[in-house]
Structure 1
Amino acid sequence: MAKPTLFYNAKVILNDTIIPGAVLVEHGKIKAVIPANEFSYVDNYKGHTLIDVRDQYVSPGFIDIHVHGGGGHDFMDGTEEAFTQIAKTHCRFGTTSLVPTTLTTTAERLEETLQSYESVKQYDNDGADFLGIHLEGPYFAMSQRGAQDPRYIRNPDPKEYKSLIDRYKSIVRWSAAPELEGALAFGEHLVANNIIAAIAHTDAIYEDVEKAYQVGYKLMTHFYSAMSGVTRRHAFRYAGVVEAGYLIDGFDVELIADGVHLPNPLLELIYKIKGPERMVLITDAMRAAGTDDTLSILGSRDDGMEVLVEDGVAKLKDRTAFAGSVATADRLVRTMLKLGNIPLTEIIRMISLNPARVMKVEEEKGSIAVGKDADLVVFDANIQVQYTMVKGKIVYERHIE
């Protein structure tokens, strides 16, 4: 049994405030949050692992609900090594929980990835915790496919998705285009099976999204990316998915806040309209995240797409479109801070409590509160991660040479 751990001399980030004090961890849970004016001598905690934070921040761990890879690996590689190494890579940047995400692919490759997840989901991998798997596709609009493989894009197939859901209980969210034939029945089936229905890679108009919302689609995958805005059809204008995301208050929106996918004015607009309660920061990272690679592969090693990595983002080789993010969670926080008008507490909410709520784990994760999992990250004023703790175990410690 690991010794209790005390983080002290800290700036503790709570839901709506930051207090000087300490956080006590025992048996994988947060045992106490101690304000500085109530903190006694460190000598009273003999037998504990004592970590002097030196006036840095202790924050809830970052929760990334949309990530494809990192550290030179992609979940679509379909191996246990890929899953464990991605989890270890992202914990170095403050991620304590993540949702492995697939790409549109063959039925065989998808099953291979799902089976690999089943093998590793309970494994103590010294990295970020897994919260279930996210299927991104294959039920997408071809016109908004982005870097998704067009060979496998199709309409929802009840026989296919019902079989997968019956056999793989680890599926916790699924992204699809709501305007497709059968997409509303698909969404209803997801919700009936306690799976999060998300809108993605879509050319829908407002009326399509409104119907989707009524059957249970409540999340927008990588907001603005691969989705329609205002369009004209036969001289008439129609509001698109982006406008629906703003107008329907109940939608949560994912943001790839890497400073490239969404420029500052759009981030500010989303904050102004949706507010901090409905914004969820994601990396959408591919395998080059956490590496210095300038050439990489989007998707599996043996069937993926070669891409360039430059300007802090992955691109198609002809540079006509982005091909994935190489962001890590700390970069998302720094990007939002640079906007200058968003409090740190709200930014941390976007990458901890909000994603925990979306994934229905807010009772265990997402904030620093007594009884919750001890998923914590220590970082400095530049959001340089010093320690990452998952369920009371330090899985990353920065070593300064």
Structure 2
Amino acid sequence: MKTLLPIFGALACCLPAAAETTHRVKIINAAVVMPSKVVENATILIENGRIAAVGTDLGEAFEGAEIIDAAGRYAAPGFIDVHCHGGGGHDFSDGTVEAMLGAAEMHAQHGTTLIYPTTASCSNATLFSLFDTYRKAVKKNTRGAAFGGIHIEGGYLSMEMKGGQDPRYIKNPTPEDYNAILAKGGDLIARWTFAPELPGSDALIGELARRGIQMSMGHTSALYDEAVSAYDAGMSSITHFYSMCSGVTRRNALRYAGVIEAGYLLDGLYVETIGDGIHLPEPLLRLIWKVKGPDRIVGITDAMRGAGMPDGPTVLGSIDDGVPAIIEDGVAKLPDRSSFAGSVCTTDRVVRSYVTKTGASLPEAVQVVTLSPARLMHIDDRKGSVTPGKDADIVLFDKDINITLTMIGGKVVYRK
């Protein structure tokens, strides 16, 4: 095979001379991770932040372009994390631009090019402060993972499935409450996690569906039929599958299936999986992989501020009003060890877990943090694969998934 994409390769060689404002980059000697295979000794041509061509016979194209020599390393689409609370000692709910930028920068160093800052259950005042901070941080974010929109996790959650969420702020959805939130930050909210069995959830689903906000069922005690109804109404994913999700229960001698069983039986329902190898041990990862496959698995970090930090005390949620936690054994826990309190995972670790624990091929493992989340968020027309026309969000890594370069929109934001 001389070219991976012969049509685009041929066009690239015939492009007109670049104008003075044109920015061209040429990644050479790359093992390009495509959705179904890895293509060795390939070249990626980038023009003005977008992928112009990918192929194995593009040596003469883009003369004078900035050259990045991959030196045989893998070149994959930038990783997308739809569920992340923070990292590097920062939480997105801390209320400062510095915290948001610091967390985004740390995750970019691990291959994340698009991140959805995620809240925990908190006061509306904390949430509104996050909205204000987000608007400021977006304009200054030049070295970190790009912001894709806010993911609200809570406070419309099941109290018995609260996990590490602060019980002070767990409540049922009411139009007065969520309309106030939407009025303040509706233009920023990309996705919302809540328990579909709560009174008032049906109306909330309708409102969020009308606004095009992606909805995920999580921290939920819903029975199977309730989960199916929520899916039919527009909820398209399950937040951190198995963690704080109802399974088979017995009521008055009868067994009832729950959200976990809905995740397996509803083919179109996406499941988020925390890829640290601890929240989901190897047998569960293998089972999820066997049933759902890469097309309906979205790998997430669920990282809190402790990601990238040493073991010891930390805080889940905002620094001023969060829940005490501790980092040990590669995960965050509540101090009494009764529950996990988020993870300290990064997206490169997610890919590594799927390769080593499920038998997934490298393209399949990469898909769970690229094309699958892009499809979930309906941005796969511009994100999620190394395809001509899409944004030049690209990461380079070695055989052990150690990130050596992160590029967002054709610009290098991290180089090891």
Q: Same fold by TM-score, threshold 0.5 exceeded?
A: yes
TM-score (norm 2): 0.92
What SS does the aligned partner of 1:323 have?
A: coil
**Residue aligning to 2:47:** 26
Provide the C-alpha distance between the structure 1 equivalents of 2:78 and 2:406, rounded to a whole number of angstroms: 8
For the 8 Å contact 2:45–2:62, the answer to whether it is kept is no
Match of 2:310 among 289, 292, 296: 292
State the 1:192 CA deviation.
0.7
Q: Tell me if 1:138 matches 2:155.
A: yes
Give SS of 1:16's match: coil
Any conservation in 2 of the 1:87–1:125 contact (CA below 8 Å)? no
Aligned pairs (5 A) from 1:343-358: 343-358=361-376
Instruction: Give how far 1:45 is off.
Output: 4.8
RMSD across aligned positions (CA): 1.3
Find 1:171's aligned residue among 165, 173, 189: 189
Q: Which runs of 5+ in 2 are unaligned?
A: 1-20
Indicate conservation of the 8 Å contact 1:316/1:322, yes or no.
Answer: yes
Contact 1:91 1:396 in 2 (8 A): yes
Partner SS state of residue 341, structure 2: strand
Q: Deviations over 1:223-243 (max 9, x none)?
A: 000011000011110001100
Give the Cα–Cα distance (whole angstroms) in 1 for the partners of residues 127 and 141 of structure 2: 24
Contact 2:286 2:358 in 1 (8 A): no
**Equivalent-residue separation in structure 2 for 1:107 and 1:316 (angstroms):** 23
Q: State the Cα distance separating 1:166 from its structure 2 match.
A: 3.1
Cα distance, 1:48 vs. partner?
A: 1.8
**Is 1:83 the counterpart of 2:100 in the alignment?**
yes
> Is 1:202–2:202 an aligned residue pair?
no
1:94 equivalent in alignment to 2:139: no
Specify the alignment match of 1:127 in structure 2: 144
Counterpart Cα distance in 1 of 2:102 and 2:267:
37
Q: Distance in 2 between matches of 1:137 and 1:171?
A: 13
Q: 2:381 aligns with which of 363, 376, 379?
A: 363
Please name the residue that 1:189 is paired with.
207
User: In the alignment, is residue 13 of structure 1 matched against residue 33 of structure 2?
Assistant: yes
Equivalences for residues 228-377 of structure 1 within 5 A: 228-339=246-357, 341-377=359-395
Q: Does the 8 A contact of 1:231 with 1:240 survive in 2? A: yes
Q: CA–CA distance in 1 between the matches of 2:365 and 2:246?
A: 26
Q: 1:293 to 1:3 in 2, by over 3 A?
A: farther
Question: Structure 1 residue 46: deviation in Å?
Answer: 4.3
Tell me the CA shift for residue 293 of structure 1.
4.2
Tell me the distance in 2 between the aligned counterparts of 1:340 and 1:9. 29
Match of 1:381 in 2: 399
Q: How does 1:11-90 map to 2 (within 5 A)?
A: 11-20=31-40, 21-35=42-56, 38-40=57-59, 45-90=62-107
The normalised TM-score by structure 1 is 0.96
Structure 2 contact 88–102 (Cα < 8 Å) conserved: yes
Q: Runs of 4 or more off by more than 6 Å in structure 1?
A: none
CA contact (8 A) 1:3 1:47 kept: no
SS in 2 for 1:395: strand
Structure 1, 240-249 or 164-173: larger mean CA deviation: 164-173
Consecutive unaligned residues of structure 1, counting only runs of 5 or more, are none
Q: Secondary structure at the match of 2:405?
A: strand
Query: Is the CA contact (8 Å cut-off) linking 2:191 and 2:214 kept in structure 1?
Result: yes
Q: Which amino acid aligns with 1:29?
A: R
Q: Please state how far the C-alpha of 1:112 moved relative to its aligned partner.
A: 0.6
CA distance in 1, matches of 2:285, 2:291: 10
1:119 alignment partner AA = K
- 2: CA distance between counterparts of 1:268 and 1:293? 28
The SS at the match of 2:236 is strand
Letter in 2 for 1:40: G
